[in-house]
Amino acid sequence: MEKTGILLLGHGSSLPHNKKLVEETANILRKKDKITVQTAFLNINSPSIKEALNELCSKGITKIIALPLFLAHGVHTLQDIPAELGIEKGVRKTTIKYGENNVELFYAQPLGTDPVIAQLASKRAKEALEEV
């Protein structure tokens, strides 16, 4: 039986804000989609990407969607994260080994331009006016 999980990827920071945002977003996804979600961070915070992959695989996950919680492509999404995931440049799907098992790994695009992002930006702009 196939079991899918999301690896929610954050940048990481010495300040607590990024980790909190990634963890809270993971909780929203878990509740909304009833799916296994594991957070991971490229820098500073834990778990690392490799630790989080191992955690998902140890739960019997057979398909992992690596989802970068980044707005746009950059060095991290194009080079650093794929290298940590073991994905070749420009590839969006691969298979990783976990013990005797093969696990399919899918690499999602960053959040990008979307009406939902623009709507949130508009909301934040209006909030800034109200806070003055």
Overall domain count for the chain = 1
3 state DSSP class of 64: strand
pLDDT at position 1: 58
DSSP codes of every residue in 88-117? -TT--EEEEEETTEEEEEEEPPP--S-HHH
The residue ranges of DSSP E strands in 11-113, in sequence order, are 36-41, 63-68, 93-98, 101-107
**Residues recognised as catalytic:** 11
Q: Which residues, including other chains, have CB under 8 Å from residue 79's CB and lie 6 or more apart?
A: 89
Instruction: Spell out the per-residue pLDDT of the chain, length 132, in tens.
Output: 579 999 999 999 999 999 999 999 999 999 999 999 999 999 999 999 999 999 999 999 999 999 999 999 999 999 999 999 999 988 999 999 888 889 999 999 999 999 999 999 999 999 999 987
Sign of the Cα pseudo-torsion (11, 6, 114, 87, in order): positive
Tell me the whole-structure pTM to 2 decimals: 0.93
Give the residue from 79, 64, 70, 21 showing the smallest Cα distance to 45. Answer: 21
Q: What is the CATH number of the domain that holds 26?
A: 3.40.50.1400
pLDDT at position 89: 85
Range of the domain at 15: 4-131
